[in-house]
Amino acid sequence: MFDEKLTAHLAELSKLEFTEAELAEMTRDMTDIIGLMDKVCGFENSVKPYTLDAVDYKDLRGDEYTDSYPSADILKNAGNVKNDSFVVPKVV
């Protein structure tokens, strides 16, 4: 499929430089990649892809309000607090 002449041409277009050994290795790699892509193209793809079923929202649990954790307990170990919130240094 790929020969060293084509690999050298593509390398020149890509502004890449290879030694003779690297060029031979790249040619082998490219031939392997093209062979793999030929196998991928041969896979049967007539099977319908998996799709998620539509979600019926009435079957989902309802939103229920619950009290949150007390702010005072959360902030008691904070180093710097202002207006019931953590104060952190500005990071630019």
Query: Is the predicted pLDDT of residue 68 greater than 70, yes or no?
Result: yes
Q: Give the chain's radius of gyration (CA, Å).
A: 31
Top-confidence residue, 63 or 1: 63
Give the rounded percent of residues in the chain with a pLDDT score beyond 90. 38
- Contact partners, residue 35, CB within 8 Å, separation at least 6: 1
CA–CA separation, 29 and 44 (whole Å): 26
Q: How many helices, marked H, and strands, marked E, lie in the chain?
A: 3, 2
Query: Is the predicted pLDDT of residue 6 greater than 90, yes or no?
Result: yes
What size, in residues, is the chain? 92
Q: What separation in angstroms does the CA of 21 have from each of 11, 35, 78?
A: 14, 21, 62
Query: Is the predicted pLDDT of residue 13 greater than 80, yes or no?
Result: yes
Kindly report, residue by residue over 42-63, the tens digit of the pLDDT. Answer: 877 776 666 666 777 777 888 8
Kindly report, residue by residue over 74-89, the tens digit of the pLDDT. Answer: 888 888 999 888 999 8
Location of structure tokens 């170990």: 77
